[in-house]
């Protein structure tokens, strides 16, 4: 059934993060990610660079009220809206000012909106600063959920994302038990959305895909110059096979720089991983030697 999902192809285009200090957070992204900042009114800001844009609004730190996926054209969007309605989805008004007229949203089991639409005309903001010319395309977003089975079912069965890899808890007999992470895709890239099991639903991270390992190094050096230290990595995720490292913004949002993300054709099965270990990092756990060692 899902081979006919009209969501394919769709890309993560932008997302909204909330902050008690949205302007200050937007200015952080201007310097750290080579973006320009403009006001969207209502205490919301657009941070935008080449192939990357974030809407930053006022709210609780680390809020992520919606994620917006871009489809190809009106025909696909219309087909997709009917597909979602037929599977029990209830289209709501699109919250984003960045898509053209005609987009819509649906509320997932955690109450976060998934937004679908067409890219509007580019505002052509010119980013400045050291990182403005560094390539980094907003590519995926990951959330934690206390309702994992419902979230997987919603994104797969109602919204038509395809399941790539899953990570599973031990079944107590050395085999794979219930899923505790699910990676989902709507184009050739291994995931544009993923969800993992947690005690409390929350945002987890968003990622920028860069063309090569050399660009990973370039971004790490750039963050180092700004005293933004690595929080996790570098390494290579097992699920997705991407090179990665992560840093945090001042609100505690996790920003991932990624390269070499696996590509998985429509209909291709993903892998099933035991939890932890290689699913997280094929290179092994990060380790920092102590000075006495
Ligand atoms: Fe990621």
- 192-201 confidence digits (pLDDT tens): 999 999 999 9
CATH code assigned at 231: 3.10.180.10
- pLDDT of 47-61, one tens digit each? 999 999 999 999 999
- pLDDT of 167-213, one tens digit each? 999 999 989 999 999 999 999 999 999 999 999 999 999 999 999 99
In a domain, 125, yes or no: no
Based on the domain organization, do 275 and 163 belong to the same domain? yes
Residue 206 CA to ligand 1 centre (angstroms):
6
Residue 262 CA to ligand 1 centre (angstroms):
12
Based on the domain organization, do 170 and 111 belong to the same domain? no
Based on the domain organization, do 208 and 243 belong to the same domain? yes
Residue 175 CA to ligand 1 centre (angstroms):
25
% of the chain exceeding 90 in pLDDT: 88
Looking at the structure of the chain, the number of domains it has is 2
Q: How many CB atoms lie within 10 A of CB 115?
A: 26
Based on the domain organization, do 172 and 243 belong to the same domain? yes
Residue 240 CA to ligand 1 centre (angstroms):
9
In a domain, 288, yes or no: no
- pLDDT of 95-134, one tens digit each? 999 999 999 999 999 999 999 999 987 656 667 788 999 9
pLDDT at 3 over 60: no
Residue 278 CA to ligand 1 centre (angstroms):
15
| Exposed/middle/buried for residue 293 (C-beta within 10 Å: 0-12, 13-18, 19+) | exposed
Based on the domain organization, do 97 and 155 belong to the same domain? no
Based on the domain organization, do 162 and 102 belong to the same domain? no
Residue 43 region by backbone torsions, left for phi larger than 0, else alpha for psi between -120 and 50, else beta: left
Based on the domain organization, do 54 and 26 belong to the same domain? yes
- pLDDT of 61-86, one tens digit each? 999 999 999 999 999 999 999 999 99
d(CA 58, CA 44): 7
Distance of CA 245 to the CA centre of its chain: 14
Based on the domain organization, do 166 and 211 belong to the same domain? yes
Based on the domain organization, do 104 and 161 belong to the same domain? no
Residue 292 CA to ligand 1 centre (angstroms):
34
Residue with tokens 């609004």: 57
What residues make up the domain containing 225? 137-279
């Amino acid at each position: 059934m899902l081979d006919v999902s009209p969501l394919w192809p769709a890309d993560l285009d932008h997302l909204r993060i909330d902050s008690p200090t949205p302007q200050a957070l937007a200015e952080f992204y201007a310097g750290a990610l080579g973006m320009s900042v403009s006001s969207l009114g209502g205490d919301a800001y657009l941070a935008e660079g080449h192939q990357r844009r974030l809407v930053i609004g006022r709210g609780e730190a680390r809020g992520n009220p919606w994620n917006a996926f871009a489809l190809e054209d009106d025909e696909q969007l219309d087909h997709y809206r009917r597909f979602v309605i037929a599977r029990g989805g209830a289209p709501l008004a699109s919250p984003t000012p960045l898509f053209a007229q005609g987009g819509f949203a649906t509320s997932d089991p955690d109450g976060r909106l998934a937004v679908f639409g067409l890219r509007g005309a580019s505002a052509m903001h010119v980013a400045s600063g050291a990182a403005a010319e560094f390539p980094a395309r907003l590519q995926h977003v990951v959330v934690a959920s206390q309702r994992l089975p419902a979230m997987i079912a919603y994104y797969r069965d109602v919204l038509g994302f395809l399941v790539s890899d899953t990570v599973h808890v031990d079944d107590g007999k050395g085999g794979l038990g219930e899923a505790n992470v699910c990676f989902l895709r709507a184009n050739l890239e291994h995931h544009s959305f993923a969800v993992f099991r947690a005690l409390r639903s929350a945002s987890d991270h968003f990622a920028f895909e860069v063309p090569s390992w050399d660009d990973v190094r370039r971004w790490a050096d750039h963050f180092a110059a700004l005293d933004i230290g690595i929080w996790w990595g570098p390494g290579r995720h097992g699920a997705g096979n991407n090179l990665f490292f992560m840093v945090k913004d001042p609100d505690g949002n996790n920003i991932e720089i990624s390269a070499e993300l696996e590509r998985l054709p429509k209909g291709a099965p993903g892998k099933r991983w035991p939890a932890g270990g290689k699913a997280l990092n094929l290179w092994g756990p990060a380790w920092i030697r102590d000075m006495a060692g």
